[in-house]
A and B are shown apart, each in its own frame.
Chain A
Amino acid sequence: MSLDRMERRQFLKSSSIGMLAAGCAWPGRAAAQTGKAQEIKLPTRPLGRTGVKIPILSFGVMNTDSPDLIKRALEAGIIHLDTAHGYLRGNSETAIGRVVKERGDRDKLIIATKVWLARDHQTGGFSTQASGRGPAATAENLNQMLNLSLTRLQTDYVDILYLHSCDTAQMVNYEPLMNAAVAARKAGKVRFIGVSCHGRVPEVVRAAADAKIYDVAEIAFNLQREDKEDTEKAIAYAKEKGLGIVAMKTQGGKRRDEKVPMNHKASLKWVLRHEEVTTAIPGMTTFDQLELNLAAAADLDLDEEEKNYIKLGSLQIGAMCQSCRACVPTCPQHVDIPTLMRAAMYAGSYGNLSHAEWTLSMLPEQYGLQVCGLCETCIAACPHQLNIGGKVAELKKTFRLPLA
C-alpha cells in the first residue's frame, strides 16, 4: 500500500466520510439546520441610459449543465442571465427558458441573447452571403433567429438583444441590422439593443456609443488584456453617452492569447471597480465559483493579496508564460519549459486535463515533464519571474509523477 493511500485512509477515519460510511451522522447537518447559505447583498448599477438598474454580478450561462446552479444564482440575487442563439445549438436558451418558466418571475429577470450573422473577414463587415457559421446578415434572418430564441426561452421578449461578435466599427454601423433591431424593439420583442465584441474593443465601444441606437455593449475586459487602458478610456466615453457596459471574459476566459489570471476574485474585482461597468457575466460552472464571485462582487475592497496580484497582473508577471524561451538554454535537462507551462495553464487555469495531457504528449519523453528535476535554475532566467518550479510541481502532482 502506498504512503499516499495510507494517509488517505487515516484521513478518512477521522473525517465525515468515515462517519458516513459507518452510518453515524450526516455531514453538513449543522449547516443544513441553518437553512440557506448566507445571502449576499449585491450592489446595483444603472444600465446606461435605460433606466434599469442591475446587480453588478450576472451569469454567463452557456457553459453550465446544472439548472440548480442557475436557480442558486437567481436565489442569491443575480437577475441577469446571458446566453446566445447559437450556444449549444439553442440548448443553452432552452435550459434558461425552463428555469425561468419554473420560477414564474420572468418580469423580474434580465435575459440577454445574441444573434450571429455572416460576416466578411476580408472587409471586416457583415455579409449578405451565408457563411459556414451563420445565415446572411439580413433583417429577415435576424427576425427569424430572434423568434426562435423567444420560443426556446419561453418568453415574448428578451431584455437585451446583441449583434454577436461585432469586432469593427463597420459592423456596429451596419444599417440593415440596426434597422432590424430597432424594428424588433418597436415590436416589443426586444427592450434594449446591444453589440458584443471581443476584438478592437475601444473602437467598437466608441462606435456603439456614437451610433445612438445601442443601449449596451458587451465587451471582453480583463486585467490581462493589452488594450485595457484604451478600453478604460472608451468605457468612460460610453458612460458619458449613456451606453451601458457589460463585461465578459473578466477572469481571462479560455482564449489562449489572453493572459490567464490565477486569482479569480481579484480579477473580477478589478473589472467591477470600474464604475463604468454595469455588470460582469462570468461563465460559472460550479457552485464554488458562484460563491466566490458573489463574495467578490459584494465587497469590492481589495485585500493585500489582491492588491499585489493586480499590481503583478498589470505588469503581466506571474500570470502566464510568454513563450520567450529565455529559460530553455538554462535547463540542465533540456526540458521544453514553455510547453510544460502551456500544459500547466490548461491543467491549472482551464481545468482541461485532457488538453494538458495532449500538450505534454507532443514532447519526446527526454525533454518532457518526467525529466524536470525541479532545480529551478530556469526561474532566474525568466524575464517575467514566472514561478516555473511551482507550476511544474503542480503538473507533476496532477499526473501523479514523482516530484524529482
Chain B
Amino acid sequence: MMPHLLKHLTLAGITSLLLLNSGRAQENLQQTLVSLLPQKGELAGWRQTYEARFFTADDLFEYINGAADLYLQYGFRMVLTADYAAGADSNGVTVEIYTMASPLHAFGIYAAERSPSEPAIAIGVEGYHSANVLNFYKGPYYVKLTSFTLDRDMGPVLAEMARFIADRIKGHFTAPEMLTLFPQQDAILHSERYIPSDFYGQSYFQNGYRRDYRNNACGDFQLFLIPFSDSLEARDAFAKYSEFLLKQKHPQNVKAAGENLRLALHSSEGDVVVFCQGALIGGALGGSCRQMLKTRVYHWAETIRLPGPSPY
C-alpha cells in the first residue's frame, strides 16, 4: 500500500510541478510585457486608467474574435492590453503589445496589417501612423496604439508612448534579411510580406516572402521567395508547384518557355514565372509582360544567394 501511495503522491507532485512550470512561463511573459510599459509618473501626462489584461492563445478569440485565427498562424503567444488617459484632455488610448513566436513572426503580422499607402516612421524597427492608430514592431513584439479621439491628429501623442515602449524593448533588430534579396526596380514601398504557412495557397510552401511591384507597361505583379532547408526540399516543392500551375493556369507557350527548374507560363489568368535555385524557390506572379518578367526573374535567379545566419 505504502509504495503505491508514495508513487501516486510523487506523480501528483510531478503533475503540480509541470502545471507550475507552465504557469510560471506565462507569469514571466506577463511580467516582461508589463515591464515595457511606463510605471506611474515615468511618462508625464499619461495615466493608466485600467489594469492591464492578458490574453493567450487559449482565449485570444474572446479578445479579437475571428481575427484570432490569423494571429495564431503568425505564432501568437500573449497580448497585453492596457488603457491610458493621455494629455491635458485625458484622451483615451489603448496600448496592445502582442508577443509573437519570433521577430520574423512579429514582422509578418505587422506587415499583414500595414497598407503601402501609410508612410513608415522610425519607431522600433518600423512603424506607421494612420488616423487614430500607431503601430510598430520590434523584436518579437507587435505594438498597437489606438486613440479614440478622432477630431484631431493624435500622432505626436501616440508617438510619445510608442517611443517609450520601443526603447524599453532591448536588443538590436532589423527587418528580415531575406527582404534585402528583392530587386528594387518598380518595387512598391512597404509592400513586403512574410507568410509563415500556406503561401500562395500551397501547404508545401512555408515561410514565403513577397513584395509588390508596379510597371507602367506591365501593370501590377508580385515577386516572391521561399527558402527551404536544402535543395532537395526546394526541388520537391518546385515540382509540386509546377504541376499545380500547369493544371490551373491554362498555360500557353509553356513548351517554349520551360527550362530546367524554371517555368514561365503565359495565361489568361495572369503570367507566372518560377525558378528553383539551390534551396530557394522564387518567381513572379501577375503582370502582363511575360517576356519582361521572364528576363528579370531569370536574371534574379542567376544572381541570388541565400543570406547567412541571421537573428531570424
Contacts and interface: CB of A to CB of B under 8 A. Distances in A.
Contacts of B64: 133
A325 B15 CA distance: 9
B112 A26 contact: no
A100 to B, nearest CB: 15
Interface string A74-99: 00000000001011111100100000
A132 B115 contact: no
A116 B65 contact: yes
A283 B67 CA distance: 11
Contact of B254 (A5, A15, A26, A35): A26
A332 to B, nearest CB: 11
A253 interface: yes
B235 A27 contact: no
B115 A66 contact: no
Contacts of B263: 26
Contacts of A287: 201-202, 244, 248
A362 B77 CA distance: 12
Interface residues of A, number: 76
A65 interface: yes
A165 B196 CA distance: 27
Interface string A261-297: 0000000000000000000000101111010000000
A364 B24 CA distance: 13
A108 interface: no
Interface string A175-204: 000000000000000000000001000000
A212 interface: no
B38 interface: no
B292 interface: no
A32 interface: yes
From A9, A20, A23, A362, name the one whose CB has the most chain B CB atoms within 10 angstroms: A20
Interface string B231-249: 0100110110011111110
A132 B83 contact: yes
Contacts of A89: 113-115, 133
A90 B76 CA distance: 20
Interface stretch (B55-63, B158-166, B170-178, B299-307): B55-63
A354 B201 contact: no
Given A65-B195, A367-B14, A21 B113 contact: no
B199 A21 contact: no
A336 interface: yes
Contacts of B76: 355
Contact of A71 (B133, B195, B269): B269
A382 interface: no
A87 B243 contact: no
Nearest to A27: B243
A136 B148 CA distance: 9
A29 B244 CA distance: 10
Contact of B250 (A27, A35, A88, A253): A35
24 contacts: A5-B232, A12-B235, A12-B236, A17-B236, A26-B246, A26-B263, A31-B247, A32-B247, A63-B69, A66-B201, A71-B269, A72-B201, A89-B115, A132-B83, A132-B146, A253-B61, A254-B69, A286-B202, A287-B248, A329-B8, A336-B18, A339-B22, A355-B75, A358-B77
- Interface pairs A-B: 3 shortest CB-CB: A132-B94, A130-B148, A28-B243
